[in-house]
Amino acid sequence: MRTLDEVQATLQIAKLNVDDLKPVIHCLSFGENISSGDYCLMELDDTLCKHIEAGKSLVIRGDKDEHAVLCSEDKTYDLKIADTSNLLLFIPDCKTPDHFPEDLPCQNLIPSRISGFSNCYWELRRCRPKVKKLKKLLMDNAYEGPDSENERNSTEQKYSTDDLLERIQASEQELLNQLQLIHACEIEGYWRILEFDYEMKILGHITQLVDSESWSFSKVTLSVCLEELGPLEPKELIEHCLNCYGKRYTAEAGEIYFSLNEDKVCRATAQMLLQNAVKFNLSEFQEVWQQSVPEGMTTRLDQLKGLALVDRSSRPETIFLLKVEDLPEDTQERFNCLFGMREKWTEEAVSPYIQDLCGEKQTIGALLTKYSRTSMQNGVKVYSSRRPVAT
């Protein structure tokens, strides 16, 4: 431990004037455990800083082949190590100059231990949660109904929320949002996806009931649905279906109703038709589609964004199933895939298939500028690949 005399002697040799300095000196030394301490630095943004100060924790998630990500309760970040050529020392007891007044009666020595040093730190960048894996995991054991063969004999893996958090690189909130998006249902503590045909069967029961009761689509009574359809299918699934395809509300006297979403019902009906063939004649499809939806609902092509693609260059015009969730998750791979399918795209056609790639504050326009090349075709702006792609 240095003494005041030693410090003053050093100052003299260094030709520094004591009068120019504040009378506080930190004598820095290296802590005993300096090399063995397993310290590392992690860069934070405002949100994360407040998160930590509130006592909340963070989790790093990743499979052996995946890049590590960091998750808070509702956000996901890419984790990288930034290596700097500078040396970073961290010192617990060291105060900044503004902490001390200019005049103190005498010089004060503050011994300060350097508890660690590093020349690298963890860098975090907000990213999209990697949830594509989720649907695949749940589809491996899709739910076909409580009486189905599969269900009774199944030894397939089932996943609870915690099980999913161990396998999916996403925060809990993002995971739950995605589960809702893909119409997953929690049955007996496990998340299940309904087999599509089964889901449509239940939806069909509901729309037939609406028809036979002469209800308006915006006033579907929950209790009647459960009573009338209960004998046919499990009540939780009837309610789940209503939640997926409608909006729940409570009216006078506490009665619960659902307002069916025309767009969602029409879209699901289209999927049911389109999945049976490679391509359809567009006008024939539109006719069959309109006839297949519940009476009173109107079909529109824009209901099929991200689900089907219309080919206006073929004679006759055709339509085929193309689900955005079946496309690659990585941005460059997604663009390669889309350009491999079709050389030139209009913004209108490609937007639904790249919307989910936009990061925070990123627009479709910015994404297109970065990953594609523009040109004009018949007076319309079209986008194509920046590099040669095999079609």
Partner 1 sequence: MWLLVERWREVYSPSALGDRAGYLGTEKREKSIFLKIEACEMVQILISSPEEGNPGEWMLIELQGEIESRQNTGLAGSLMGDLHYTKEGVPVLIVGHHILYGKVVKLEKPFAVLVKRSGHQEVDDNAMETGEAKPSTNYQVTALIKKKMIFKTRPKPIITNVPKKV
Complex with partner 1: residue 39 or 249, whichever CB lies closer: 39
Q: How far is residue 282 from each of residues 287, 311, 317, 360, measured CA to CA in Å?
A: 9, 9, 6, 36
Least distance between partner 1 and beta carbon 178 (Å): 18
Judged by CB, which is closer to partner 1: 52, or 324?
52
Q: Is 268 helix (H, G, I), strand (E, B) or coil?
A: helix
Residue 76 identity = T
Question: Least separation, in Å, of the C-beta of 290 and partner 1?
Answer: 47
Nearest distance from residue 126's CB to partner 1, in Å? 12
CB neighbourhood size of 6 (10 A): 12
Please provide the distance, in angstroms rounded to a whole number, between the alpha carbons at the two ends of the chain: 74
Q: Which is nearer to partner 1, 20 or 149 (CB)?
A: 20
- Of residues 321, 317, 229, the one with CA closest to residue 271: 321
| DSSP helix/strand/coil, 139 | helix
Give the long-range contacts of residues 45-54, CB within 8 A, separation 24 or more. 45/124, 45/126, 47/72, 47/75, 48/72, 48/124
Least spacing, CB of residue 152 vs partner 1, in Å:
24
We find the least distance from the C-beta atom of residue 96 to partner 1, in angstroms, to be: 5
**Closest distance to partner 1 from the beta carbon of 72 (Å):** 10
C-beta closer to partner 1: residue 164 or 268? 164
Tokens representing residue 330 in the block: 């990585």
**Nearer Cβ to partner 1 (34/272):** 34
| Residue 167: closest CA among 244, 61, 287, 300 | 61
SS3 338: helix
Q: How far is the CB of 14 from partner 1 (least distance, A)?
A: 5
Closest to partner 1 by CB, 38 or 295: 38
Residue 190 is inside which H or E element, if any? strand 190-193
Nearest CB to partner 1, comparing residues 100 and 196: 100
